Structure 1
Amino acid sequence: MIHYKPVDLPERTVTVRTKSGTYVYLTQKVEYSSKLKCSRPKRIAIGKLNEKGMLIPNQNYFDLYGKPVELDVPGERADTVSCGPFVVVDAIARKTQLLDVLESVFPEQWDKILDLATYMMMTENNVMQYFEDYGYHHALFNESNFTDSTIGRLFDNMNIKDMDLFIRAWVKMHADKDIYISYDSTNMNCVAGNLELAEYGHAKDNPDLPQVNMSLGYNQTGNKPLFYSLYPGSIIDNTECEKMVERAKYYECENMGFILDRGYFSIKNIRYFEKNGYDYILMTKGNARFVQEAVEECQAILRNGYTNYIEEHELYGMTLEKDLFGTGKTEYVHVYYDGIQAEKDKIIINGRYKKMDEIMEGKVQRKTQRKEDVKAYEGYYKVKFDDNGYLFAYQRKEKKIKEMVNKVGYFVIVTSKKMDAAEALSIYRDRDAVEKTFRMEKSYLGFDVFRVHDTEKLESKVFISFVALIIRNEMYQALKPMYKKNRKENTVPKVIREYERLGITKLSDNKYHVRYSLTSRQKKILGAVGVTEKDYMDKVNKIVQALNES
């Protein structure tokens, strides 16, 4: 493995700071977007900053500026090689049959796919240029270390047909009948490349960057990611819902229910679920007419009674049976009142009005004349202008405030299947598993930003991240009992760092050795994922033998 001397930053570069380091992008050109009516830069990743602010170049830099001076040429493996991540991922991949499916679908590529998935998980990074350095210090599934050029060829040779075949086999193995699938989507920003799916949409973070949307189906009953899909960044969740149902049908999912947040709520989507025979548990939007009517019907009972208290969730709830669409089919409308949340929301409303009062008073003091300057506040205040056209008085619309206060604390869930309010809320709140999974994808696998330059590589990279997601999620589920006992010491990131420390060392005989026995703590965190001390030593001894013979 060749290490290159760091270089000075070229001109026209921008930096993007992430958990795994600061990455450098070169602005190649600026293009005008007639759609957005503004100019947008086209950038390419050229490397990463070291601790001194110098650029560690990647292949893109070499293509543009030529190769810098080589610093040194060490051996194929470091003197100390980490084995823990390999042993743990191997155990999880075998237990879940992930390894079997990968070997079957990708007979020539499965080992590199698992290595890259492990790299993403261990480094919380998706920048492939630095895998070679990772491989230098870690045991690998592949026989030898490999470069970013090899990774580029791997991405090019992987095709959507094989990826889809993997997903189909994975769903068949882990989507038993009578389960609920939590479904959600998120957006990933793009800082370089020319991706067909990258469009400007409704990003919560970095809205000035184009994005690609990713949706995920998660088996809430079996606690496993099932399938995913990519779609253009400008498409909103609500309109993608039908495609999601079609995707479940395509993978031959039967007798399933979908659990969805309010972003997917619409009468059209509910009808579509019912037409295709899928059950659903759906959080509603408060502005829907039937939601407001249901809240009004239950308001007095929930706010003043105690018989509808749901102790496990510390709130009140009751269920109404309604034919919402006049089809003769009964839907179940579950209305909830959370008094604690209601008080918090009242404080927020009062604070908001206090701030608006200050703004309105400022407008009076400045003798505002333009009615457009107070138009945004007319929904909340009655305003008066004097004969000269100056704003001189304002008064809160008390009826409006009362309506807002009366609505706080209420929320409504609709289900197609008969169940009581407690059961519906318990199932819905368990869907935070899919939100945690997206957090894994963006925070712990480095996918808050895509760093690829064409759509084919994007598909391959996201597929490998999905494999990493399966592995990390399995680790998360396995460590849950330990986490509940000690939330500080047994988080997944902390345990992963401890797996990293399990390794072998080259001694004066120029051979690798296991220098220490496992500690009690190490035995526990390995045991959590199904690896006994004997399993660990057997695997590590095979790694030692292979490296010593190479």
Structure 2
Amino acid sequence: MVAIVYQTDKRSGITYAYHSVSYWDKEKKQSRARRTLIGRLDSATGEIVPTDGRNRKKHEDTVSVNDRPDAPAMSHRSFYGATYLLDAIGEKLGIAQDVHRCFPDTYQQILSIAYYLILEDSTPLYRFEKWSTLHKHPYGKSITSQRSSEVFATITEEAKQRFFTLQGKRRLEQEFWAYDTTSLSSYSETLRQVQYGYNKEHDLLPQLKLALVFGQESNLPFYYRKLAGNILDSKTIRHLLTDLDLLGCSRIKLVMDRGFYSEANINCLYRDHVKFLMSVKMSLSFVRNELDGIYDTFRSFEQYNEDYELYCRTVRTTWKYAQKRPYKGDTLQEPRRLYIHYYYNIAKAAEDEQAFDRRLLALKQELETGERVPEHEKLYQKYFLIRTTPKRGTHVTIREEVISKARRYYGFFALITNETMDAVTALELYRTKDVVEKAFGNLKERLSMRRALVSSEQSLDGKLFVQFVALIYLSYIKKQMQVKGLLKDYTLSGVLDKLDLIECFEQPGKALRVGEMLDAQRQLYLDLGIDPPTSL
């Protein structure tokens, strides 16, 4: 029989924990016990701290996530296939090593919570204890809700920045980085950054924002930042560039949507020699002016791309760069090279025009019936001539010139960049930005971030970081599934559930044994770029 016994040293007052294995002594014909030192009992936390018997913690020679605080005290069978996958991914991407270096005292708890968030799909953290008894995981023990909050509170800003730096160095500097923000609603009245602002999901709750940077080729995130909920996207660029510079990132290339456009931001990107690709509104005067010069010949056969069913044209122009120089008391102005890539979609143009006509018809009926909507007054004045007489009532006439001008740019969209590339390459690169949108979906749905269900700043910051770590694992798996064509036959949950069925058997003093594995399960590991598990 295996048990853990405690004994207090009367001289030092330290309580030591031992593995006690009972056996029958045939010579003395009595029960005996063999004891093996585990460590000392921490009176504050009740946890066993590994030691060599002289109150010194054992030195860790490896950072493998499979290292447990203590050996199994009894025979134990647990689910292993999915957590083994995460172990292997963590080693391959350097996540386990980087978390260990930045959080040496809590790295196993952080990884185990991240595993739980990935595998349990939105299940509350108070269910961790049940999951822990059924699965082999880095920490190897249960984590209560209170303990998880304590772990979150130990995650400092300095340690997070160090983790971002380590992960950033593992990414390709030559690749473009997709950058975007999302809103996270919250019921909390104590979180300082929870504010009312524009919510992309049209949620009426106050919110905070999360900014995320993804590698365009690796499809892996390596940086995030929490923002107040009322901050506009266009106000975040300067701070982003400063943060990336502090992290040691060079040769920065960003892909962004049109919410980040402003003259100040473009000037800032030029000033810092940052390559960028950005969507812009067709209502911008310089975008329309350049298009007007090629408008009549835009839809020529030579400009049609069959793969995307679009007409594509590129115009090289100049950006009027301006930089205020306080030390000289003047403003530097000079031209900078800029490319505008234009695209025209016939189906989208027809759809937009039809929707516009429906809107005009509804506005006209409002005017003629006298049921005017106060919020529509500017539209009435813009698109109609309105005459009202006592005999004939209200007579409404369309402003044809204004209507024609509005329809002129339907079906068009544009990208701007300071990097030399053709229109199709720019479009393909911009569409990889969808990886950020999918990541936000993973955060909100699978990693339980649709609502920020925490009440303190420390808990929020710590939980966000652990969810970010979990997101790196999820992003790798989804990228591999896409590359190998697994999305045709599996969902992400389906893959994890299929592997989760594989068991392992642990026994004191014995090597770990892996249970039966199907050929289909073995192939899933190989498709995900991981060697299948084997008995040790």
TM-score of Structure 1 vs Structure 2, range by shorter chain? 0.7 to 0.9
Q: Tell me, in whole angstroms, the C-alpha distance in 2 between the residues paired with 1:311 and 1:78.
A: 62
Shift of 1:127: 3.4
Q: Tell me, in whole angstroms, the C-alpha distance in 2 between the residues paired with 1:357 and 1:537.
A: 73
- Change over 3 Å in CA distance of 1:505–1:102 after alignment to 2: closer
Paired position in structure 2 for 1:440: 442
Paired position in structure 1 for 2:498: 498
> Amino acid of the residue matched to residue 311 of structure 1?
E
Paired position in structure 2 for 1:245: 241
Aligned counterpart for 2:305 among listed residues 310, 320, 342: 310
Aligned counterpart for 1:187 among listed residues 183, 190, 197: 183
- Change over 3 Å in CA distance of 1:499–1:358 after alignment to 2: farther
Structure 1 position 148 matched with structure 2 position 139: no
- Change over 3 Å in CA distance of 1:120–1:515 after alignment to 2: closer
Q: Where do 1:388-427 residues align within 5 Å?
A: 391-427=393-429
Q: Is the 8 A contact 1:179 1:255 kept in 2?
A: no
Paired position in structure 2 for 1:341: 348
Paired position in structure 1 for 2:7: none
Shift of 1:80: 7.3
Shift of 1:302: 1.2
Paired position in structure 2 for 1:131: 128
Paired position in structure 1 for 2:44: none
Q: Secondary structure at the match of 1:330?
A: strand
Q: Tell me, in whole angstroms, the C-alpha distance in 2 between the residues paired with 1:257 and 1:420.
A: 17
Paired position in structure 2 for 1:544: none
Shift of 1:125: 2.0
Paired position in structure 1 for 2:273: 277
Q: Tell me, in whole angstroms, the C-alpha distance in 1 between the residues paired with 2:429 and 2:164.
A: 25
Q: Where do 1:193-272 residues align within 5 Å?
A: 194-205=190-201, 207-272=203-268
Q: Secondary structure at the match of 1:307?
A: helix
Q: Where do 1:443-522 residues align within 5 Å?
A: 443-482=445-484, 484=485, 487-503=487-503, 517-522=516-521
- Change over 3 Å in CA distance of 1:300–1:80 after alignment to 2: farther
Q: Secondary structure at the match of 1:107?
A: coil
Q: Tell me, in whole angstroms, the C-alpha distance in 2 between the residues paired with 1:399 and 1:343.
A: 19
Paired position in structure 1 for 2:79: 82
Shift of 1:113: 0.7
Shift of 1:316: 1.4
> TM-score with structure 1 length normalisation?
0.76
Structure 1 position 105 matched with structure 2 position 102: yes
Q: Is the 8 A contact 2:176 2:215 kept in 1?
A: yes
Q: Is the 8 A contact 1:335 1:412 kept in 2?
A: yes
Q: Is the 8 A contact 1:337 1:411 kept in 2?
A: yes
- Change over 3 Å in CA distance of 1:278–1:512 after alignment to 2: closer
Q: Secondary structure at the match of 1:283?
A: strand
Q: Tell me, in whole angstroms, the C-alpha distance in 2 between the residues paired with 1:488 and 1:344.
A: 30
Paired position in structure 2 for 1:53: none
Question: CA deviation digits over 1:373-395, x for unaligned, max 9?
Answer: 8555332322222238x953223
Paired position in structure 2 for 1:66: none
> Amino acid of the residue matched to residue 500 of structure 2?
E
- Change over 3 Å in CA distance of 1:490–1:386 after alignment to 2: same
Q: CA RMSD in A?
A: 2.9
Q: Where do 1:288-299 residues align within 5 Å?
A: 288-299=284-295
Question: CA deviation digits over 1:127-179, x for unaligned, max 9?
Answer: 322222322332221131121111111112221111111111111222x3322
- Change over 3 Å in CA distance of 1:356–1:514 after alignment to 2: farther
Q: Where do 1:370-389 residues align within 5 Å?
A: 376-387=379-390
Gapped runs of 5+ residues in structure 2? 1-72, 322-333
- Change over 3 Å in CA distance of 1:512–1:323 after alignment to 2: closer
Q: Tell me, in whole angstroms, the C-alpha distance in 2 between the residues paired with 1:324 and 1:157.
A: 47
Q: Is the 8 A contact 1:193 1:452 kept in 2?
A: no
Identity of aligned residues (%): 22
Question: CA deviation digits over 1:251-293, x for unaligned, max 9?
Answer: 1211121111100011111110000111111111222110111
Q: Tell me, in whole angstroms, the C-alpha distance in 1 between the residues paired with 2:219 and 2:374.
A: 56
Which 10-residue stretch deviates more, 205-214 or 267-276? 205-214
> Amino acid of the residue matched to residue 127 of structure 2?
Y
Q: Tell me, in whole angstroms, the C-alpha distance in 2 between the residues paired with 1:225 and 1:478.
A: 15
Question: CA deviation digits over 1:309-350, x for unaligned, max 9?
Answer: 233322112222212206132111222222222122222223
Q: Is the 8 A contact 1:195 1:453 kept in 2?
A: yes
Q: Is the 8 A contact 1:257 1:280 kept in 2?
A: yes
Q: Tell me, in whole angstroms, the C-alpha distance in 2 between the residues paired with 1:502 and 1:141.
A: 17
Structure 1 position 287 matched with structure 2 position 283: yes
Paired position in structure 2 for 1:50: none
- Change over 3 Å in CA distance of 1:110–1:337 after alignment to 2: same
Paired position in structure 1 for 2:118: 121
Paired position in structure 1 for 2:158: 161
Q: Secondary structure at the match of 1:449?
A: coil
Q: Tell me, in whole angstroms, the C-alpha distance in 2 between the residues paired with 1:334 and 1:371.
A: 39
Gapped runs of 5+ residues in structure 1? 1-75, 542-550
Q: Is the 8 A contact 1:179 1:220 kept in 2?
A: yes
- Change over 3 Å in CA distance of 1:193–1:372 after alignment to 2: closer
- Change over 3 Å in CA distance of 1:136–1:490 after alignment to 2: same
Q: Is the 8 A contact 1:504 1:515 kept in 2?
A: yes
Q: Which has the larger radius of gyration?
A: 2
Q: Is the 8 A contact 2:278 2:415 kept in 1?
A: yes
Shift of 1:515: 9.7
Relative to its length, the structure with more helix (as a share) is: 1
Paired position in structure 2 for 1:353: 360
> Amino acid of the residue matched to residue 471 of structure 1?
Y
Q: Tell me, in whole angstroms, the C-alpha distance in 2 between the residues paired with 1:78 and 1:118.
A: 23
- Change over 3 Å in CA distance of 1:371–1:286 after alignment to 2: closer
Shift of 1:295: 1.8
Question: CA deviation digits over 1:507-543, x for unaligned, max 9?
Answer: xxxx99989622222122222223334xx232xx7xx
- Change over 3 Å in CA distance of 1:408–1:169 after alignment to 2: same
> Amino acid of the residue matched to residue 502 of structure 1?
I
Paired position in structure 2 for 1:30: none
Q: Is the 8 A contact 2:82 2:497 kept in 1?
A: no
Shift of 1:403: 1.7
Q: Tell me, in whole angstroms, the C-alpha distance in 2 between the residues paired with 1:428 and 1:323.
A: 21
Shift of 1:357: 4.1
